[in-house]
A and B are shown apart, each in its own frame.
Chain A
Amino acid sequence: MTAAFTLSGVCKRYPAFALEDVDLALPEGEIMGLVGVNGAGKSTLLRLLGGLALPDRGTIEVLGHPMPAQQVQAKREIGLASEDMRLYGSQTLRWHMDLVRAAYPRWDEAYAGELLRRFDLRAAQPLKAFSHGQRVKALLLLNLARRPRLLLLDEPTTGLDPVARAEVLEALSEVLRDAARSVLFSSHDTHDIERLADRITFLHGGRVIDARDTAAFLDDWRRIVCHGALPASVGQWDGVASVRANGSLSELRVRGAEAVVGLLRAAGADVRSVDPMNLEEIFVATVRGGGKH
């Protein structure tokens, strides 16, 4: 099976930021969510894959095309929408649709019309008269209607009102149902990622600190609440990301709960509950734990 993309030992340095030694791959037909704080390197990673930036070191392959050598072939099969990408304010959405249609032979006019209706956009309206939400939806329309094999989305729902966000997520879910399509998207909203992604990658400080399939992430992490005194070394135990004490109760966030629960019981602690964690909690615990496994 062709990989949607492969990054091997990729580095990209800017004066105030560096993406370091990124090794990452996405099998075709899967959806990967990128989670990271501002400045973690999410946009840089997406720009490298979209051909908007060249790596200082390492190799990138997109849909079987080495970048940048075959970027034209790769870009013909990519849709890239980023939060900081703007369209021409003086021109109408129809003008943009005609421009993109001329550049992409797979442009689907019927689907574009359907998206226009669903997103409640007017093709004859100049972009400068669009609200932020409408601009995001217009950019998404221009990307979706070209029927890309790989969709790269940088913060697609940031700044949208709840209704626009729901519309965008609905359109995305539809794209994601097509098994031949691969998607890499970044978002601050871990709920979106938890809901849509097959695989999740945590980026922090320009490095990939964890990357696995969503179910494995969620199955692996637990919040343990226990009663009684804990050994002083509990924070150093394998799998323990954080320990917080509140009176006689302690809350631990751990990876591989079974072993930790056994150790706690052996140390005389009364384990009261072991609960699943959501992706946001897992991300915070991973970052605070320095990405240790």
Chain B
Amino acid sequence: MSPLANLPMIRLLVAKDWDLFQRQLAAYVGAGILALALIGSAKPWTFYLGSLLLLVVLVAAACFAISTSLLTERKERTLGFVMSLPVTPLDFYLAKIAGNLVTFGVPFVVLVGGTAGVILSTPVPDGLLVWSLLVFGHVLLAHAVSLSVAMAVESEGWNTFAMIASMVLVNPFIMMLGQIPAIAGPMRGEAIVWSAEAIAILSTQVLLSAAVIGFTGWVHCRKRAFY
């Protein structure tokens, strides 16, 4: 049976995850908006505090979406109940990907849009936009990797490691961006410069995220037990 034929069940599973986690995700969006307000006030201390808070909120939202929708489901043994419903492993996989697009994607898109809005409409230099989007790109890739590990590997230890390691790598990533003149140079100016380096990094992040998710689907559909 093709997943398209079972679309109502996939939609039902996505709605279930949204129902389960919407309150907490609303709290993350609220905290993100507070962070953006701090960044937008454009004083040095509020800018740094806001940036830090925004990064914490993004990482927390990514980890929360994965741990609640996948790891907790397995740990609290609700996975058997879900898989006993009229779904195939592929339906379940698609529902989890779509569910994460909603549960993580909604706060992510709100915060990306909010950040762009704050940068472009306040005294914060517009040149910061490219750098910010690359940092968001890293969080997206880290989320895709953590989501894939959570779907493919049952070990809680490996899942925790994957989440922490991929998210903590944002620090060296930010430092690396600072070492690339074509990205670090225009950060303090008003011009938005999409250098070849910036485009290459962002494209790699997006393509790699899609590839990791696709590979996980292939692995998941070859599993022999779902409970």
Contact = CB atoms under 8 A, between A and B. Distances in A.
A174 interface: no
Contacts of A95: 19
A51 B223 CA distance: 12
A85 B84 contact: yes
Interface string A142-184: 0000000000000000000000000000000000000000000
Interface stretch (B74-82, B111-119, B143-151, B205-213): B74-82
Interface in A94-130: 95, 99-100, 102-104
B77 A99 contact: no
Interface string B20-46: 100000000000000000000000000
Interface residues of A, number: 32
Interface string B177-216: 0000000000000000000000000000000000000000
Interface of B: 1, 6, 9, 12, 16, 19-20, 76-78, 80-81, 83-88, 91, 224-227
A68 B88 contact: yes
Nearest to A99: B16
A86 interface: yes
B227 A103 contact: no
A72 interface: yes
Given A89-B76, A95-B19, A75 B226 contact: no
A278 interface: no
Contacts of A99: 12, 16
A205 B131 CA distance: 61
Interface in A77-91: 78, 80, 82, 84-91
A70 B20 CA distance: 29
Nearest to B85: A103
A76 interface: yes
A188 interface: no
Contacts of B224: 53-54, 56
A90 B20 contact: yes
A88 B1 contact: no
A47 B227 CA distance: 9
A177 to B, nearest CB: 24
Contacts, number: 74
A73 interface: yes
B155 to A, nearest CB: 14
Contacts of B1: 70, 72-73
24 contacts: A51-B83, A51-B226, A52-B83, A52-B225, A53-B225, A54-B225, A56-B224, A72-B1, A75-B85, A78-B84, A80-B84, A82-B80, A85-B77, A85-B81, A86-B76, A86-B77, A86-B81, A88-B78, A89-B76, A95-B19, A99-B16, A103-B9, A103-B12, A104-B86
Given A72-B9, A88-B78, 12 more contacts: A52-B225, A71-B88, A72-B88, A73-B86, A85-B84, A86-B76, A86-B80, A87-B81, A88-B76, A90-B20, A91-B19, A139-B81
B20 A91 contact: yes
A89 B12 CA distance: 19
A103 B86 contact: yes
Given A52-B227, A53-B224, A102-B12, A75 B78 contact: no
A82 B84 CA distance: 10
A50 interface: yes
A272 B83 CA distance: 56
A241 B166 CA distance: 62
B6 A72 contact: yes
Contacts of B12: 99, 102-103
A49 to B, nearest CB: 11
